[in-house]
Amino acid sequence: MQIQYLEIANFRKLLSVRIDLASTTTLLVGANNSGKSSAMLALRKFLLSKATAFRLQDLTLSHLATIDATGADWESADETLETPKANEWANWLPTLDLWVEASQGELHHIRDLIPNFAWKGGHVGMRFRLEPKDMAKLFTDYRKERARVKKLQQEIVKQTAEGKTPPTLPLWPQSLHDYLNRRLGTMFVVRWYRLDPTQLQAPDPKTRHANLQPLSSTATALDANPLTDLIRVHEINAQRGFGDSAEESVTEGRGGSGKRLTEQLRAYYNRHLDPGDSPDISDLEALTAIQAAQTAFDSRLTSSFAPALLEVAGLGYPNHSDPAIKVETRLSPTDGMNHEAAVLFELDSVAGAPGAPPMRLPETSNGLGYQNLISMIFQLMAFRDDWLKKYKDSEERTDAGVEPIHLVLIEEPEAHLHVQVQQAFIKHAYHVLSNDPLLKKYPKLNTQMVVSSHSSHVAHETEYANLRYFRRLPAGMAGVPVPVSTVSNLSTVFGDKNRHKQTKEFVTRYLRAQHADLFFADAVILVEGAAERMMLPHFLRSHFPFLDRCYITILDIGGSHAHRLRPLVDALGIVTLVITDLDAGHKKSAVPVKRKASQATNNPTLRNWVTAQQVGHDVDTLLDLDDEHKAQQIDDLFAIRIAYQTPIKIRLPSTENEAEALPNTFEDSLVLSNVQHFKQKKGQGLTKPFAAALRESETADALGRALFDALREGDKAKFALQVLGDPDFAKLTVPEYIREGLVWLEEKLKKKSKELLIVPTASIEVTEQ
């Protein structure tokens, strides 16, 4: 049994999304402010907190106008208005749908969720919905409060007419959303509903919004939380409180998270290791030592307190009829952990004398990274043992009373951790949660871990198929007036397993060999060469300051393989600029670019990307292709553009007239765009033949041939390093085809950055979602 899907609706940026859960670890990735934290917060509030944890700001902001319109209708209605039902508000009430895959042999765990007697196994679903606790009471109380405000407003108008200065008071409530801003926690409650598996639908392939099934008008809430005895939920939230002076940060009652390491170890010891709690044979030695220490301490206390007790007796108490005073200790095995320095870190030292005591520091003096790592590992161990009822008084352990599903939520585990430690944690966290003999004995007990992260290093160590990508959409897109998010299941990016197996394997290997920044970027630039990869960041810094401030991933997909990333780019919906080479050829042989020579591009990216179905592979056509045909607008936010070498006007030594030079690669395009710079260079490698070609070539064709021949034998990476080391590098002109592509990218990102709120109300307080 395992959780298959989580569907969240009307919660902050998550208007309607589905998160497919992997059987082991699911990693939530995406750019900043894309909704990952909203998803984790929704799970926390629905599964771990009470209804009072919800605030008005947890609702998707686009619904506030609808709420205020409802309030206005309530105010204008007379007493005969029929009280609305919660189901009539279903379009804006926050919900969490949880779908579980179960077999017929597990009926006793899901008895409250079985849709009918014909069910033979498969999906069962439950809905958690935040809704009014008592709609009639809410209706009456809101009308009463608004009547009070109107009465006060009439008095203000009256005072104004009498010449008095009216008070400027922020009278509450001004609207229904203003009312709920204070009363949501007390007037709303989370209720649970059974869902129908036959109505379970896949997300809309175009909008990627989840297709949530509507509840029938006769749907009744379940009497008890269906998660009881079915799913055990634990959480490590992002605010773990390390380095705080307070002993414990606010954690809303979620044991373990936010405590210092000493507190966590003490709790773990009390719960699972305390030898004084139902001791066994292995505890006898410790208990004997404690008893001996207690006896010795009692004897010392008796002799130490004797003079004081005699002095008290001299005052007439206790007399013969009063009970005598006796001082006695009670040492508990857990007392040894009840102090600030219970956890110490021992340091290596070469200065200490032989036999000298070791050097130790308390946990607060150690790095936050170590504290965080050790803390999270101990919490995972405690979660596992708590789920499996692994207590000191346990006898023969069985699966009796153990929930079949253990769901662990971990938010931003990378906080304070170095790169290697981040990777080590994500690789071993699931092993810690599942490292118990009982789980091998009872394989139907299943642990699932959901992790949200901003770290490309954490993503790098996670199976590609287990990534869930959050894409943020700006206000106004798809008819939604506020910024929202969608979620893509990357395990389905390449469709049929057999048909696209090689492409998927290539992309997976490539991303693991390079880095996973792609999943956190605002845009991606794909380049097909080491020189472009090295120089492009400097071009951005020197000529495109806006782009330099954006989160842009530059991926070197060398060897003309950019087209293999197209399915992934489509799934992410990320603005993409592809910088590639023209690679002119004749009968598959590379040749210098020449017009009217029946040449075709040999570049797979040009043949398979934007231009493939529009203009074909002919070099003459590609040289004159307009900007419109080099770009493809997929939706309001997602666009792709390809950039390759275009003709350059130069002045040859033999003539004063301009000639058309036709570059074939980035290197010759850079040289032809900066003729005066490279003409007088006397460097080594490609620099020398390039300079000679610029000084000696009499025709554009001869120049193209000379550059072509030099590039076939030269080291492009070495040339790039020489150019970067040139003192005049910042003065170089960016090749026109790259400049045009970067101008296009800048325009797209400026539009994307405008996530402006569009709400048709006078004033609505907005908090970050």
- Find, among 599, 557, 621, the residue nearest to 630 by Cα: 621
Q: 643 and 578 in contact (C-beta within 8 Å)?
A: yes
- Find, among 549, 503, 557, the residue nearest to 528 by Cα: 557
pLDDT for 268: 62
pLDDT for 499: 52
Structure confidence by residue, pLDDT tens digits, 245-296: 433 333 333 334 555 656 666 666 566 555 555 555 656 666 676 667 767 7
pLDDT for 249: 37
**Which helix (H) or strand (E) segment is 4 a member of?**
strand 2-11
CA distances from 283 to 278, 286, 290, 336, 394 (A): 9, 5, 11, 15, 14
- Find, among 706, 691, 700, 690, the residue nearest to 652 by Cα: 700
Only one residue has tokens 């990777």, namely 423
Provide the 8-state DSSP code for 35: S
Quote the Cα angle for 171-176-182, to 5°: 65
Only one residue has tokens 């620099």, namely 687
pLDDT for 474: 79
pLDDT for 325: 60
Only one residue has tokens 């699972």, namely 272
CA atoms of 244 and 311, how far apart (whole Å)? 47
Q: 510 pairs with which residues across the strands?
A: none
E runs forming strands in 200-314: 231-236
C-alpha of 256 from chain center: 22
- Find, among 328, 333, 327, 342, the residue nearest to 290 by Cα: 333
pLDDT for 652: 82
Amino acid code (one letter) for 550? C
Residues of the chain short of pLDDT 50, as ranges, are 242-256, 341-342, 755-769
Give the three-class secondary structure for 61. helix
Structure confidence by residue, pLDDT tens digits, 30-59: 988 899 999 999 999 999 987 778 999 999
**Which helix (H) or strand (E) segment is 125 a member of?**
strand 122-132
Sheet containing 552-556: which strands, arranged edge to edge?
552-556, 523-527, 575-579, 639-643, 631-633
Amino acid code (one letter) for 149? V
CA atoms of 621 and 619, how far apart (whole Å)? 5
Instruction: Please tell me the pTM assigned to this model.
Output: 0.81
CA atoms of 617 and 126, how far apart (whole Å)? 54
Print burial letters for 91-119: b (CB count within 10 Å at least 16), e (below 16). Answer: ebbbbbbbbbbbeeebeebbebbebeeeb
Q: 170 and 161 in contact (C-beta within 8 Å)?
A: no
Q: 230 and 109 in contact (C-beta within 8 Å)?
A: yes
Which segments of 314-400 does DSSP mark as H helices, in order?
A: 368-387
Q: 646 and 623 in contact (C-beta within 8 Å)?
A: yes
Provide the 8-state DSSP code for 515: -
Amino acid code (one letter) for 715? D
CA atoms of 697 and 519, how far apart (whole Å)? 47
Structure tokens at 674: 């900066």
Q: 332 pairs with which residues across the strands?
A: none
Print burial letters for 648-683: b (CB count within 10 Å at least 16), e (below 16). Answer: bebebeeeeeebebbbbbbbbbbbbbbbebbeebeb
Q: 725 and 681 in contact (C-beta within 8 Å)?
A: no
Q: 546 and 522 in contact (C-beta within 8 Å)?
A: no
Long-range contacts formed by 30-33: CB under 8 A, 24+ apart: 30/469, 30/470, 30/471, 30/472, 30/485, 30/519, 30/520, 31/470, 31/472, 31/520, 31/521, 31/522, 31/551, 32/454, 32/520, 32/551, 33/472, 33/483, 33/755, 33/768
CA atoms of 197 and 191, how far apart (whole Å)? 19
